[in-house]
């Protein structure tokens, strides 16, 4: 959990306002602003007793997932939402959690977006010495083999496990292993690692995510200790933390991953979903005021996988320069993006295709005259301001 004294913010409301502003820049909308649909009555999830909780934060995810999945999706089929909930640290210190959800996107770009936004929020808050810890447990089939070997590992080391934790080892191997990692049990370096059980397709999917992070410039550590229950999670799990100089410990402030199994159970059909939750303490003011957002005069569109990998850099460059922009980066089809651009009625387009991505440029096109100019990404914000293109419509 983030302590306000470790940030540049004077109180909780300031931190949450800045975090929401960043999330909405990337297209996230408040859950409470969306129309709710009735979930199918045959949905398998009826109550908590049906699910096996391997982590403490999985109980909160259950209610959050219901709220987000019940929301009507846009025409693109992908929904980006945020919500704020009350939470507490393990020592019962009260706090708030900002949840970001991406519903309907099966590809690794969804997790990359969530990590990029959470990293931007932490960067704006001046949280230094951050680290991204990441792991993949694959699909149910590959993780099934992993859990079987974890059970064997626990049986072999049962005598070294505390008596209070031993009964759990037989019924919840993953939850037990998570506890051992948290307690720093000396046998954990010999525990099976989920990544070793991934299929070739699952490895490729994981490397795709890592490539997004590398292109954007987010350092990461592969670690086997980031785990979660299979009733909730599949494929990628991640955690953001910072090094506390006072205590010399690593403090986790954000956790998330892909929760397709839970989302599909709630929706009653296959439903891709990913999330990240950023927790902060309650300090001073905590009521967030709704800010009026300027109407952008720009629309950013991309074409091709290379442009998509580099889209984060363009958007983050504009966000840091306080230049508002319309975009739909979750949509891969250029035609759909152009339709969206027409509806926004912006006078200027920012276009990045494969050629521009390789060259590190963006085409700035004036719609009225169809004239355009290629501008290096690093010079884009200054160019837009000099030409007065960045002024909201």
Q: Are residues 116 and 68 in the same domain?
A: yes
Last residue of a domain, one of 221, 248, 281: 281
- Give residue 217's region: left, alpha or beta (phi > 0; psi -120 to 50): left
Identify whether 35 is part of a domain: yes
Cα dihedral across residues 77, 80, 84, 90: positive or negative: positive
Q: Are residues 207 and 250 in the same domain?
A: yes
Q: Tell me: the pLDDT tens digits for 346-381? A: 999 999 999 999 999 999 999 999 999 999 999 999
What is the structure's pLDDT at 287?
86
Q: Tell me: the pLDDT tens digits for 114-131? A: 999 999 999 999 988 889
Burial of 388 (0-12, 13-18, 19+ CB in 10 A): exposed
Instruction: Report whether pLDDT(238) > 90.
Output: yes
Cβ(61)–Cβ(43) under 8 Å?
no
d(CA 25, CA 22): 5
Q: Are residues 238 and 372 in the same domain?
A: no
Q: Are residues 205 and 266 in the same domain?
A: yes
Residue 163 CA, chain-centre distance (Å), reads 37
Identify whether 291 is part of a domain: no
Q: Kindly report the pTM of this predicted structure.
A: 0.93
Q: Tell me: the pLDDT tens digits for 243-297? A: 877 777 888 899 999 999 999 999 888 999 999 999 998 988 888 887 778 889 9
Cβ(240)–Cβ(131) under 8 Å?
yes
For position 107, which CATH number holds?
3.30.930.10
Q: Are residues 124 and 240 in the same domain?
A: yes
> How many structural domains comprise the chain?
2
Q: Are residues 80 and 19 in the same domain?
A: yes
Tokens of 286: 């905590």
For position 375, which CATH number holds?
3.40.50.800
Tokens of 268: 């009653």
Top-confidence residue, 91 or 63: 63
Q: Are residues 272 and 369 in the same domain?
A: no
Identify whether 83 is part of a domain: yes
Between helix 12-25 and helix 109-124 the angle, nearest 10°, is 140
- C-alpha distance from residue 56 to each of 51, 60, 62, 178, 227 (Å): 13, 8, 11, 11, 12
- Domain span at 112: 4-138+198-281
Three-class secondary structure of residue 221 per DSSP? strand
Averaged pLDDT of the chain: 90
Question: 17-52: b or e for each residue (b if 16 or more CB lie within 10 Å)?
Answer: bbbbebbbbbbbeebeebeeeeeeeeeebeeeeebe
Cβ(209)–Cβ(257) under 8 Å?
no
Q: Are residues 133 and 58 in the same domain?
A: yes
């Amino acid at each position: 959990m983030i302590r306000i004294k470790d940030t540049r913010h004077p109180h909780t409301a300031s931190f949450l306002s800045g975090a929401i502003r960043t999330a909405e820049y990337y297209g996230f909308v408040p859950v409470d602003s969306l129309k709710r649909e009735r979930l199918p009555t045959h949905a398998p999830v009826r109550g908590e007793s049906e699910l096996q909780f391997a982590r403490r934060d999985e109980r909160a995810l259950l209610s959050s997932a219901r709220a987000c999945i019940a929301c009507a999706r846009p025409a693109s089929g992908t929904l980006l939402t945020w919500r704020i909930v009350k939470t507490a640290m393990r020592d019962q210190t009260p706090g708030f959690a900002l949840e970001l959800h991406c519903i309907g996107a099966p590809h690794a770009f969804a997790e990359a977006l969530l990590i990029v936004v959470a990293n931007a929020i932490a960067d704006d808050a001046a949280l230094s010495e951050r680290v991204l810890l990441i792991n993949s447990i694959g699909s149910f089939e590959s993780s099934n083999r992993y859990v079987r070997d974890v059970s064997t590992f626990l049986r072999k080391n049962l005598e070294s496990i505390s008596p209070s934790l031993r009964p759990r080892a037989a019924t919840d191997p993953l939850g037990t292993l998570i506890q051992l990692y948290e307690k720093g049990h000396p046998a954990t370096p010999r525990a099976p690692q989920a990544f070793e059980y991934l299929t070739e397709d699952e490895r490729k999917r994981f490397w795709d995510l890592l490539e997004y992070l590398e292109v954007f410039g987010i350092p990461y550590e592969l670690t086997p200790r980031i785990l979660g229950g299979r009733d909730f999670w599949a494929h990628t799990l991640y955690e953001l933390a910072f090094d506390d100089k006072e205590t010399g410990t690593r403090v986790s402030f954000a956790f998330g991953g892909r929760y397709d199994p839970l989302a599909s159970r709630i929706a009653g059909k296959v439903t891709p979903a990913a999330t990240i939750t950023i927790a902060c303490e309650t300090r001073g003011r905590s009521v967030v005021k709704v800010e009026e957002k300027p109407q952008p005069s720009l629309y950013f569109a991309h074409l091709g996988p290379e442009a998509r990998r580099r889209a984060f850099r363009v958007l983050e460059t504009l966000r840091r320069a306080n230049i508002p922009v319309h975009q739909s980066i979750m949509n891969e089809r250029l035609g759909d993006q152009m339709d969206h651009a027409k509806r926004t009625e912006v006078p200027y387009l920012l276009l990045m295709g494969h050629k521009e991505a390789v060259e590190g440029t963006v085409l700035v096109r004036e719609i009225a005259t169809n004239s355009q100019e290629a501008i290096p990404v690093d010079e884009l914000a200054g160019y837009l301001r000099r030409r007065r293109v960045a002024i909201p419509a």
